[in-house]
Copies of this chain bind each other. A is one copy, B any other.
Amino acid sequence: MLVDQQLLRIPGPTPIPPSVERAMIQPMIGHRGQECKDLIQKLQPGLQAVFGTKQDVFIIAGSGTAGLETAVVNATQPGDEVLVIVTGAFGDRFAKICDAFERKTHRLEVTYGEAVDVKEVKNYLEQHPSIKAVFATYCETSTAVLNPVKEIAEVVHQSSNALFIVDGVSCVAGVETKMDEWGIDVLVTGSQKAFMLPAGLTFVSASKRAWDVIDSNSQPRFYLDLKAYKKNLDNSSTPYTPAVSLLYGLEQVLELFNEEGLEQVYERHQLMMEMTRAACKALDLPLLTSDQAASPTVTAVQPTDFDPEQFRKVVKKKFGLTLAGGQQHLKGKIFRIGHMGYCSPADVFQYISLIELGLILVGKKIDLGKGVAAAQAVYLDREVETNDL
């Protein structure tokens, strides 16, 4: 193993692009000066493009969970009935936050590894007309599932007057997201996933409908009060000290998105998912998630013939390749490969080669190179499709 080489392939944090690292070591500036105002103002169009919204996108110093709490304490009120679609550990976290703030929390539990069936959401809402908000997880990081957020939004608005609140932490900026067009009322994401930044920022945006609730909400809140963020953003500022070096990094991330093109960013994630899944199938590695429900940002493997924890230790020790384990009742049962943010098809080939060797080292019988070849074939098919030769 090469000293000082990290191959970080967990579903966030992801590696940081070199130009973003450089951007983050710019000299510190005063957070109330014009330079910082200019920076904050400059970030809005890029964030809005990623969110697919014309609304403000607020930047809060905090991790993704702070963003989830922001959604709960702003867009729902004490005693509200809310429905949380629980497809894994992060749906569960949304429900726990609702519980902590004493919402009347309904849970629509979905088998881990599956996406929610929108008909169930529809039925649930029709049976519970007093529900004021529906919470969903766009990419359920813990199971590598991408929930059909666009379709859920449709049935929520068809079947109820509830607000539709989405945790987009582990996929926004890696998959197409159209907050306004689809009818998402609150959208939350974090900096350390497809945004390719260190953890430390959460981004939150709210629809006009959501603002009606936020403005009149009696829920006690201070640090996470969106009204304060709104008032300050109107003056290109933040209510509390912003994490300036992360904002510099974000400025460069948005520049990279612009350079690559958001459509190409999304295509790259789709391609990396398809390559990874093809390789896993070729290597007889059972996937936790069906093709239809799979997320472009993370893949979960549920092996039956070796211990995933032992496997993770081997590839970490031998190659510095960090893969993620399972969470909650999937702990010890799956491993997860993150392929989002600063990750390319070249990196996919690298981790698949190493995964193949890791499989041999834990005693699984495979044909060397077979996973790589399957991923290469997917890559070539896409080359032909896009006539990009």
Q: Is the CB of A320 within 8 A of B346?
A: yes
Task: Tell me the complex Cα distance, A373–B360, Å.
Answer: 12
Task: Tell me the complex Cα distance, A7–B2, Å.
Answer: 16
Q: Is the CB of B380 within 8 A of A376?
A: no
Q: Which residues of B contact A369 (CB under 8 A)?
A: 369-374, 376
Q: Is the CB of B353 within 8 A of A260?
A: no
What is the CB-to-nearest-CB distance from A175 to chain B, in angstroms, rounded to a whole number?
17
Task: Tell me the complex Cα distance, A260–B17, Å.
Answer: 26
Q: Which residues of B contact A17 (CB under 8 A)?
A: 3-5
Task: Tell me the complex Cα distance, A343–B356, Å.
Answer: 20
Task: Tell me the complex Cα distance, A346–B256, Å.
Answer: 26
Q: Which residues of B contact A5 (CB under 8 A)?
A: 17, 342, 344, 346
Q: Is the CB of B344 within 8 A of A2?
A: yes
Q: Is the CB of B357 within 8 A of A379?
A: yes
How many copies are assembled?
2
Chain A, 276-332, CB within 8 A of any chain B CB: 319-321
Q: Which residues of B contact A353 (CB under 8 A)?
A: 346, 349-350, 353, 372, 375-376
Q: Which of B256, B347, B360, B373 contacts A350 (CB 8 A)?
A: B347
Interface residues of A toward B: which range?
35 or more
Q: Is the CB of B345 within 8 A of A319?
A: yes
Q: Is the CB of A260 within 8 A of B3?
A: yes
Q: Is the CB of A342 within 8 A of B2?
A: yes
Q: A2-B342, A260-B2 are in contact. Are A389 and B376 (CB under 8 A)?
A: no
Q: Is the CB of A2 within 8 A of B380?
A: no
Within 8 Å of chain B (Cβ to Cβ): is A354? yes
Q: Is the CB of A344 within 8 A of B1?
A: yes
Q: Which of B321, B360, B368, B383 contacts A346 (CB 8 A)?
A: B321
Q: Which residues of B contact A268 (CB under 8 A)?
A: 2
What is the CB-to-nearest-CB distance from A173 to chain B, in angstroms, rounded to a whole number?
14
Task: Tell me the complex Cα distance, A2–B376, Å.
Answer: 17
Interface pairs (20), CB distance under 8 Å: A2-B268, A2-B344, A4-B20, A4-B256, A4-B342, A7-B346, A25-B25, A319-B344, A319-B346, A320-B344, A346-B354, A353-B372, A356-B376, A357-B376, A357-B379, A368-B376, A368-B380, A369-B369, A369-B370, A369-B371
Q: Nearest 4 pairs between A and B by C-beta?
A: A369-B373, A349-B353, A369-B369, A2-B344
A residues in contact (CB < 8 Å) with B: 1-7, 17-20, 25, 256, 259-260, 268, 319-321, 342-347, 349-350, 353-354, 356-357, 360-361, 367-377, 379-380, 383, 389
**Beyond the given A6-B18, A319-B346, could you list 8 further A-B residue pairs with CB under 8 A, ordered by the A residue number?**
A4-B342, A25-B25, A349-B350, A349-B353, A353-B353, A353-B376, A369-B373, A372-B373
